[in-house]
Amino acid sequence: MRRRRGVDLGPRVDLHCHSSASDGLHPAETVADMAARAGLSALAITDHDLPPVLGHGLKSVDGNEMRLIAAVELSTMHEDKELHLLAYFADGMPDDFAEWCRNRARWRARWYDACLDALGLDLDRADEEAREGRRTLTRLHLARALVDAGFCPNLRSAFHDHIGHSSQVIPPLNLSFLDALSVAVDAGAWTAWAHPPPKLAEQWAASFALAGLHALETHRPTKTGRNRLSAIALQHGLGITGGSDWHGWEKRKMGSFRVPARALHLTDKALGLL
């Protein structure tokens, strides 16, 4: 147990991070090892549209025991806005839902090729791993391809000028938030709207809650909007989740942001974090 000024903080967790299986820097095994050494009691590696590489269960590293929670971050659309849905499974991801996620990853490989076509670029197409649904290609992979080919001077330019969420050229995602939510809930997931903009949360949290959403991701490395989002969650009977959204490219280390499990209203019990 960790203590601060005599107060028992209890278990600390990170329910949102990424590995090189999607757009992170490090392999999932390395991410988990770093998290365990940092003293986290639970970790969810939420790669984009991909079932967990490491599965779930207890992991021990150098005497530090940590629980891996099976999870995924689904990329979706709602009213022309890209929204992300986190789906957690306390007892492991069901096989049929895992295969559904792999199909999403396979679709992302085709989407990547379609993006290159839309940009008029003759670059390397999606690799075999991506086509088979064993890793996910994202906007970051596309941006790096544009930079490596000399089409853009840097990643910022690639996102700003060509492939950002406001792009009118890149093909849109083909999965709606509400459809993804329905599939995840039917599979038994505990669901959370990832990094919701407070303004949009005020507009849509009520309807999402009625559709089966369980929580809002309120606790992130930046405290901007945290209290506002927590109030919205409480207003609509939703739980709260928290995570670093760590990819490994950041200066901060894995485990430098962690959330007290007992602060995650409803989620602590749903995922057995305490």
Q: What are the pLDDT digits (tens) for 160-213?
A: 999 988 888 899 999 999 999 999 999 999 999 999 999 999 999 999 999 999
Q: For 200-236, write each residue's pLDDT tens digit.
A: 999 999 999 999 999 999 999 988 899 999 999 999 9
Return the pLDDT at 11: 94
**Lowest model confidence (mean pLDDT) among 8-12, 68-72, 152-156, 185-189:** 8-12
3-state secondary structure the chain: CEEECCEEEECEEEEEECCCCCCCCCCHHHHHHHHHHCCCCEEEECCECCCCCCCCEEEEECCEEEEECEEEEEEEEECCEEEEEEEEECCCCCHHHHHHHHHHHHHHHHHHHHHHHHCCCCCCCCCHHHHCCCCCCCHHHHHHHHHHCCCCCCHHHHHHHHHCCCCCCCCCCCCEHHHHHHHHHHCCCEEEEECCCHHHHHHHHHHHHHCCCCEEEEECCCCCCHHHHHHHHHHCCCEEEECCCECCCCCCCCCCCCEEHHHCCCHHHHCCCC
Residue 204's identity, in one-letter code, is W
The beta-carbon contacts of 96-101 under 8 Å, at least 24 apart in sequence, are: 96/187, 97/51, 97/183, 97/184, 97/187, 97/189, 98/51, 99/51, 100/183, 100/187, 101/49, 101/50, 101/51, 101/72, 101/74, 101/133
Among the listed residues 17, 25, 50, the one whose alpha carbon sits nearest the alpha carbon of residue 221 = 17
CA–CA distance, 47 with 68 (Å, rounded to integer): 13
Q: Which residue has the tokens 């895992």?
A: 98
Residue 111 clears pLDDT 90, i.e. is over it:
yes
Return the pLDDT at 113: 97
